[in-house]
Amino acid sequence: MSKPSVIIIGASGSVGRPLVDGFLSKADQFSKIGVLSSSSSAHKFENEKARGVDVVVGSFADPACYRGYDIAISLAGNTVMRLQPAMIDAAVVGGVTHFYPSEFGSDTALDALKDFRYFQDKRMTRYHCVATAKLHPQFKYTYMLTAPFTEWTILPFHGVDRTAKKVVAYGTKEMPMDVTSLKDTVRYTVASTLIPFPEGQQKREIRVVGERTTFQRIIDTLAEIEGCKYETVYVPVKGALEKMDAARKAEDEEAELEWSARGLLNSGNAIVDGPYDNARLDPAPAETVKQTFERILRG
């Protein structure tokens, strides 16, 4: 079996850089590792280029940028999510046969999330994957369902003020949620690209979870490691939804998406149900919340 080649779209962000490093750690198992960059951002990859990464300069809508690659992984950010169908079309014309849309989070197929604004563009991309597979029998796609990243749950975006030791969270206390560390997400993603599809299958879901917990337990773990106490207040999601609607009316798409996502962690819908693929991808156990925080906070 020949070694696969992989190109990453959106590799300069907080997920992309660790993912590129993850692929480089297994470079002997890939024929080529590339990143797709605009001309204005290509300089950001000088270090990766020196380590053997192919820096492809161009547009994600240009089929020529995908030539020579089997697998394309999209790490599209919030306001680029809706453009992923154009990526898929260009990638297929360019010869890509396996596409990873930018999922890496909750299971957008949950009934409870069917009207959730933040995931609308992801769902449209899913529909496009299905349609593309019907037109192109050689086209395959993988959904990486990882739950929220553990490291991101304590960012200011989720109302966590680590200086003042205060948390203002939208939603309901003690709702279940799943998390997976970004470190584990990277190794599972890399491993998944090396597992062949079963004969005749075009769609694949990879489900990996580090721990099922609650947002409150996450904050309690943070407090334990920092040796302090956090004052945590839960406020109704209605306030975030009102701000989301105001952003929509103002045609501020970025703010609309951000306010939509503010209540997810405490909604009971930030989950990825099993069966899980952790052990199939890598026998090493996933980090717990405490292990992740000890790593990133204590070094």
Q: Which CATH superfamily is domain 5-298 in?
A: NAD(P)-binding Rossmann-like Domain (3.40.50.720)
Summarize pLDDT for 169-201 with one digit per residue, the tens.
Answer: 999 999 999 999 999 999 999 999 999 998 899
Q: Is residue 69's pLDDT more than 70?
A: yes
**Band (77; pLDDT cuts 50, 70, 90):** confident
Other residues' Cβ atoms within 10 Å of the Cβ of residue 62: 14
- Which two structure tokens, joined as six digits, stand for 174? 């003690």
What confidence tier does 235 reach under pLDDT thresholds 50, 70, 90?
A: very high
Query: 98-131 b/e with 16+ CB inside 10 Å = b?
Result: bbbbbbbbbbbebeebeebbbbbbbeebbebbee
Contacts with 295 (C-beta within 8 Å, 6 or more apart), sequence order: 183, 287
231-235 β-sheet, strand order: 160-161, 166-170, 231-235
Tell me, what's the pLDDT at 230? 98
Q: What pLDDT is recorded for position 115?
A: 86
* Per-residue pLDDT, 198: 85
* 243-298 pLDDT tens trace: 999 999 999 999 999 999 999 999 999 999 999 999 999 999 999 999 999 999 98
Lowest mean pLDDT among 26-30, 112-116, 203-207: 112-116
Q: Please report the pLDDT score of residue 17 as a whole number.
A: 96
Question: What per-residue confidence (pLDDT) applies to 1?
Answer: 66
Mean pLDDT over each residue of the chain, to the nearest integer: 95
Would strands 166-170 and 160-161 be described as parallel, antiparallel, or unpaired? Answer: antiparallel
Residue 299, pLDDT > 80, answer: no
- Taking the alpha carbons at both ends of the chain, their separation in whole angstroms is 40
Q: What tokens does 142 get?
A: 């993988």
Q: What is the mean pLDDT of the segment spanning 150-179? A: 97
Q: Check residue 124 and give its pLDDT.
A: 94
Q: Higher pLDDT residue, 152 or 103?
A: 152
- The distance from CA 220 to its chain's CA centroid, rounded to whole angstroms, is 25
More confident residue, 144 or 104: 144
The one-character DSSP state at 287 is P
Cα 138 to chain centroid distance, Å, stands at: 25
Give the model's pLDDT for residue 114: 86
Coil/strand/helix, residue 54 = strand
Whether this model's pTM surpasses 0.85: yes
- Buried (b) or exposed (e) across 240-278, using 16+ Cβ within 10 A? bbebbeebbeeeeeebbbbbbbbbbbbbbbbbbeeebbb
Output phi, psi for 168, to 5 deg. -120, 110
- Which is nearest to 204 in space by CA: 257, 280, 121, 266? 280
Total number of residues shown for the chain = 299
Report CA torsion sign: 53, 5, 181, 143. Answer: positive
**Contact, 148 vs 270, CB < 8 A?**
yes
143 contacts 106 by C-beta, under 8 angstroms: no
Q: d(Cα 293, Cα 84) in Å, to the nearest integer?
A: 33
Extract the tokens encoding 6.
């992989």
By C-alpha distance, which of 21, 23, 55 is closest to 37? Answer: 55
Average pLDDT over residues 153-178: 97
pLDDT for the residue numbered 23: 99
Encode pLDDT of 222-231 as tens digits. Answer: 999 999 999 9
Radius of gyration of the chain (CA): 19
DSSP symbol at 202: -
In angstroms, the CA 213 to CA 103 distance is: 21
Which residue, among 73, 63, 65, has the nearest Cα to 30 in the 3D structure? Answer: 73
